[in-house]
Amino acid sequence: MERISWDQYFMAQSHLLALRSTCTRLAVGATIVRQKRIIAGGYNGSIAGGTHCADEGCYVIDQHCVRTIHAEMNALLQCAKFGVPTEEAEIYVTHFPCLPCSKAIIQAGIKKLYYSEDYKNHPYAIELFEQAGVECKQVKFDSKSIEPLIVNPVPEIN
Ligand SMILES: [Zn+2]
Ligand SMILES: [Zn+2]
């Protein structure tokens, strides 16, 4: 029996979360992991109970949709809300984080960033990650890794 790797498992979770995104511009997912356990997840969307971009269009200022909270921020805020430490944690994101999210990730004490897709990769964000000793690694999500799930939704385990 082939087992899914940890990297693909956490990256799959971020891609699954991205499917919950309410912004039509880009669907992003983020999973925070500590000691191989998922401690939080987020996707980019409006404030809880707020208007969704998908329903009423994006609220664009200076070419950015300002309606949504980014996936990384949502995952970090979930930890804040429920009092879960993020020190020494790792984060798996579908896209390279924007500059404000990069700063929040560093400040939250996260030590490893895994991203699937390049996304503007701000040079200052890269510089800050280096300075802070946060390891950044591209892990492309391979949909083949979840093929057993699609072929047989409840795999038989012997
Ligand atoms: Zn939007
Ligand atoms: Zn961001």
Domain boundaries, the chain: 7-146
Q: What residues contact residue 103 under an 8 Å CB cut-off, 6+ apart?
A: 125, 128
pLDDT recorded at residue 150: 82
pLDDT recorded at residue 152: 79
**pLDDT of 97-150, one tens digit each?**
999 999 999 999 999 999 999 999 999 999 999 999 999 999 999 999 998 888
What superfamily does domain 7-146 belong to in CATH? Cytidine Deaminase, domain 2 (3.40.140.10)
Q: What is the pTM of this model?
A: 0.94
Is position 70 annotated in a ligand binding site?
Answer: yes
Residue 72 annotated in active site? yes
82 C-alpha vs ligand 1 centroid, how far in Å?
Answer: 26
**What is the spatial distance between Cα 11 and Cα 33, in angstroms, rounded to a whole number?**
11
**pLDDT of 20-63, one tens digit each?**
999 999 999 999 999 999 999 999 999 999 999 999 999 999 99
pLDDT recorded at residue 148: 84
